[in-house]
Amino acid sequence: MRLEDRVAIITGAGSGSGRAGALIFAKEGARVVVTDIDPKGGEETVKMVKEQGGEAIFAKIDVGKLDDIQRMIDTAVDTYGKINIMWNHAGIPGPGFLEETEEADFVRSWEVNFKGTFFAVKFAVPHMKKAGCGSIIFTASIAALSGSPYSASYSSFKGSLVTLTYTLATYLGPHNIRVNSICPGLIDTPMARVFLDRSGTMGAEALDKAIQDFGKNKSPMGRTAKPEDIANAALFLASDEAAYVNGVILPVDGGTVIVM
């Protein structure tokens, strides 16, 4: 019960690492606000949490829209009375190569991967200050820590989260609110398949192979990350075990970034 009596919001919890986080957080005692743009996935996550004996609710939100972000915060406070943990996990691959990037796609990537995260923290922080403590977690990427030729906008916005982590850790530390970032490598999730195949032409079998081959060829540990690998890192950062961990950029990539 490492998160007993905590209220946690997890964005992008309808699948992948966000779903794994909701399950693990709830198992450790947190009441979880599951949010996602996909109601089917979000409701399925809540069902899974309840089946294992945990407590959760679902809020359908688009993290690129400020009205939705504010409603997410209000839903958490109205339902559970407080906010202790904010894991800003939702993200999208965005456009691919520089020459293929259109303005509308760039703006949408910025909205989801950075703007929504910034304002989610803005709206959550007053409640964390009231609670006397808080843990804010960003899902950045190893693409923020090394050069990536494949997605200039995604890398830029994830890099901005790293800088935001440093800034907010300094600003919010005196209020006992910790701010840290997780930087995953490639994870075996639905988003990874979109990231690798923006044109939608590879096919399921080829994508599965590409994801597994990435881990074998790029990670010193010889495998691709599982959603639970990321969720367990978030659990640590959210827990009292990380009570003096603030402003940390934590790669969870099996060592991929050190050999890229």
Q: Catalytic site residue 154?
A: yes
Rounded-to-integer distance, Cα 257 and Cα 260, Å: 5
Cβ atoms 26, 49 nearer than 8 A: yes
Strand ranges for the chain from DSSP E: 7-11, 31-36, 55-60, 85-88, 134-139, 177-184, 249-252
CA dihedral sign, ordered 190, 184, 240, 70: negative
Catalytic residue among 150, 154, 166, 244: 154
Contacts 24+ apart (CB under 8 A), 47-50: 48/19, 48/22, 48/23, 49/22, 49/23
**Residues taking part in catalysis:** 154
